[in-house]
Structure 1
Amino acid sequence: MSDLKEKFNLLVKESISPFLKSAGFKKAGLNYYLHLNDLVMVINLQKSHGNSFEELKFYVNFGIHSSSIDEVLGLPTNHKPKEHECYYHNRIHPMATDSFLITSATSINLLFEELISTLKTALTKSESIKSTTDLADLMIENNGLYKRKELCLYLLLSSNDERLKTYVQLLHEKFKEDQRWAKIENSTNEMLAAHKRNYKMKDIIK
């Protein structure tokens, strides 16, 4: 095992795992899970594919999943989702870069302090997400096109038409000049018709 891998493993064992455990997370490989009512918070450590003997880069990914959305969409309940399977996901990182870096010159203590500070900031922001409704609002504000169909279907099936209209308006503001917009509009209209809504996209964004 290289010195860099040893440093990474030490960082996980002695720093990241104890901190996340104290916050209520349970470890499964390089994933950490916190269950809160119908929500699952996920923190994932992802090593870069471009690592070498000179440097080891890794990312800290964050996701939020909902068993209630699974249920409404008729999907199997996923109690241990991968971060990329979550209905919301984001990357936790320092201000200057999207990753953390370990080299032979890296001070593990300083890196630990930077990691914990970044994790604390992310967990503090996530404290306001206590229900699937909170998660849906977070998705509306931040997801863009990620999990678009799932979010639209969930809002339709749970009769959250006003939230759906807000989401569509935000999508239009951001993607109306995008070459994909026509397909987005058509597929959304198909969902509206399939669920017997008496309005179309043009009525929302007029």
Structure 2
Amino acid sequence: MENIKKQFQDILNNVIAPKLKGVGFRKSGLNFHARSGEIDWCVNIQKARWGYDEDTASWDFAINLGLTTSLCQELMDVSPAAFPLVSQCVLRSNLK
């Protein structure tokens, strides 16, 4: 199981994070955030419960996406965050 966790961390740290950081995202754990003008772009990598599926030899995780603005957060009576999470976004979607 430790090898599977290490493989996931390698994918996150050596594939996903460099691509997102290369276009201006900051990373905190499994969360990424970038601001472009008034829009906050949020990405979260959500590990599946079991991770690696030996039957299909594939990884199982979801990429959660979100968009928000400070104004939207204020209208929803949520304090604007410096590093908003997908769960705080007004528009959300996911890729599996």
TM class by smaller structure? 0.7 to 0.9
Write the letter of the residue equivalent to 2:73: D
Deviations 1:161-186 (A, max 9, x none): xxxxxxxxxxxxxxxxxxxxxxxxxx
CA gap 1:73/1:46 in 2 versus in 1, 3 angstroms: closer
Q: What SS class does the counterpart of residue 79 from structure 1 fall into?
A: coil
1:70 matched to which residue of 2?
Answer: 73
Q: CA deviation at 1:82?
A: 2.1
CA gap 1:53/1:11 in 2 versus in 1, 3 angstroms: closer
How high is the sequence identity, in percent, across the aligned residues?
A: 26
1:25 matched to which residue of 2?
Answer: 25
Greater percentage in strand: 2
Greater percentage in helix: 1
- The total of aligned residue pairs comes to 92
Match of 2:85 among 82, 85, 93: 82
CA gap 1:60/1:52 in 2 versus in 1, 3 angstroms: closer
CA gap 1:37/1:61 in 2 versus in 1, 3 angstroms: same
27-36 vs 75-84, which deviates more? 75-84
Q: Is the 8 A contact 2:43 2:85 kept in 1?
A: no
CA-based RMSD of the aligned residues comes to 2.0
Q: What SS class does the counterpart of residue 79 from structure 2 fall into?
A: coil
2:60 matched to which residue of 1?
Answer: 57
TM-score normalised by length of structure 2: 0.81
Q: CA deviation at 1:27?
A: 0.5
Q: Is the 8 A contact 2:52 2:60 kept in 1?
A: no
Q: Which blocks of at least 5 consecutive residues in structure 2 are unaligned?
A: none
Q: What SS class does the counterpart of residue 76 from structure 1 fall into?
A: coil
Instruction: Tell me the distance in 1 between the aligned counterparts of 2:23 and 2:35.
Output: 11
TM-score normalised by length of structure 1: 0.41
Q: CA deviation at 1:80?
A: 2.1
CA gap 1:19/1:74 in 2 versus in 1, 3 angstroms: same
Q: Is the 8 A contact 1:67 1:79 kept in 2?
A: no
Q: Is the 8 A contact 1:40 1:79 kept in 2?
A: no
CA gap 1:3/1:34 in 2 versus in 1, 3 angstroms: same
Rg (Cα) greater in structure: 1
Deviations 1:107-126 (A, max 9, x none): xxxxxxxxxxxxxxxxxxxx
Instruction: Tell me the distance in 2 between the aligned counterparts of 1:22 and 1:53.
Output: 27
Q: CA deviation at 1:64?
A: 0.6
Write the letter of the residue equivalent to 1:51: W
Instruction: Tell me the distance in 2 between the aligned counterparts of 1:32 and 1:82.
Output: 8
